[in-house]
Structure 1
Amino acid sequence: MTNPVTPLLTIKGLQFNGNTAAKPLLEILSLSIQAGDRISLQGGSGAGKSLLLRSITQLEKVDKGEFIWKGKDLQKIDMPLYRSHVIYLHQLPALGAGSVADSLQQVFKLKTHKGKQYSELIITNFLTEIGLNTAFLQKNIQNLSGGEAQITALLRAIQLQPEILLLDEPTAALDAEKSAAIEKIVACWFAEATDSRAYIWVTHNPAQAARVSNKVWKMEQGRLTIA
């Protein structure tokens, strides 16, 4: 169990310049993610929200920044291992080919997840929570709606039991029913281990932010304000 005093992740002096010689696109003095944090990340278009999430997972190479994951310098930690615990969920995920079950099982072929196994029971339990049955697992990826694709991507991430989820507007293009399903899946995953999990949820919907978060972060011109 993670020591509640030790943050899951601390970042200091984060700076991302991009390809411009002007002011940095991202400049944050310090941020910390604690176990139990349900963070809504808000800000206008171009404020740097997605860039921040991608920087946290090191999908963007930052120019400066000290990353401390559970008390250890990230430079001393295997990056694929880190990314299996801190997962970024894109709004338009790439799911590969084949069935939903194929997509869910594919990630277990990666060396990073050696020792882990796909569990249809775990996936079925989540599907039951949102009113779907195992027939969903046989649907072809190419025939999924936007909402179904997002549900698949979320299930693929949470089956790996990450400690931090970074959700980049996961319901922005979804109807109310599918949005509620996404919220419920995240809530169920989080409730399984609130003492060792956290998430950041990018949303422009104030009502949704109130439902899914207990902390508010706001981005403006690449700078972060923690409310």
Structure 2
Amino acid sequence: MSTLATGERGGSRRWHERLARVGSWFSVSNGSRGWEAVATNVKPLARTTGATPVLRWALAGLGVALLLAAGCRTVSDEHRPAAIARFYLETDAPHGVPVVLPRSGVQIVIGAKPVFTEYDLTHVEVAEVELGRCLRFQLTGEAARDLRRMMHVYPGRRLVLLLNGDPLGARRIDAALSDRAILVFVELPDEELPRWTEQLQRTTAQLRRSAKPL
């Protein structure tokens, strides 16, 4: 017989012997009233009509915690950006990310990181040009300098606009591109442009209010 089987049998025998000793203790010490004696020695809890002081303090603490959680949730909702606009540069690198514009079906491979983010924008508005309505993104001074460098280094490549993570427009880098603003035809219905402009402006205002002075 294996050692494991012998150990299991020995352990089982010791367990039954322990149960026998416990049973004999109840039968010898308390007679036939073994479990009844144990039950009668247990004092019942006093019945109370109201919450104990400890329970009242616990409930009060729970209420305060719920109020604080609700307050934090309200503050976070108020400071959550309404809409996020980011620009990505077209790339021919093997690690690029392919995106597809929703209406035209044009596929463009972009870099993994944005070249302009919501922090680089100072104003967003709907602009009317010869070809129709578009969105005009005004850049900060530092972002405008970066755009000028891109015009010299990456002429002909496209800047792809993502709104809340969705690719919705592209603008080619050429001589007609202003060095202080980016005009993009967004592949959305014209009636939706004012709503997007309002949300993007709200995000810009929130970021400017929360910006700390240097």
Q: TM-score range by the shorter chain?
A: under 0.3
User: Relative contact order: is structure 1 or structure 2 higher (C-alpha 8 Å, sep ≥ 6)?
Assistant: 1
Give the TM-score normalised by structure 2: 0.24
By percentage of residues, which structure has more helix?
2
Give the TM-score normalised by structure 1: 0.23
